[in-house]
Amino acid sequence: MLVVLSNLGVQLWSMYGDTMMFYFPLNSILGFEGEFEKFLRGAAALQDFFCVGCSTGNILVFSCRDGGNYPLLHNLESEKVAISSLSSSSALLVAANDNGKIFGYSGADAFEKCFSFPGYG
């Protein structure tokens, strides 16, 4: 799949980019209130999930099981600092934010935070 992130939301496209399979508008979960522009940045796949980082510090976790339905399963909240990057392994989701903080979630334990390294700006 091709994942497109923007200040409007997340789109999933077919492997060839000819069919949009899923669209999730950013304002449906975060709204547009506040003084800062909202955007999505950082995407990672983990088991049967795909995860997307937000400018608000949230990480949205969607299920990607067969059938074309991609429900939002978790809205992981961290510090109110924009997520800059996401990465994953078979059982671990790792995120970094704009302050340099690195933290991880266990995919096996319903995305429970399992470690954190401080950032220094």
Q: Is residue 89 pLDDT above 80, yes or no?
A: yes
Stretch among 36-40, 71-75, 84-88, 97-101 having the lowest mean pLDDT:
36-40
Whole-model pTM?
Answer: 0.85
Mean pLDDT of the chain: 85
For the beta carbon of residue 75, count every other beta carbon within 10 angstroms: 13
| Dist CA 38 CA 56 (whole Å) | 7
Q: What pLDDT shows up at residue 6?
A: 82
DSSP 38: -
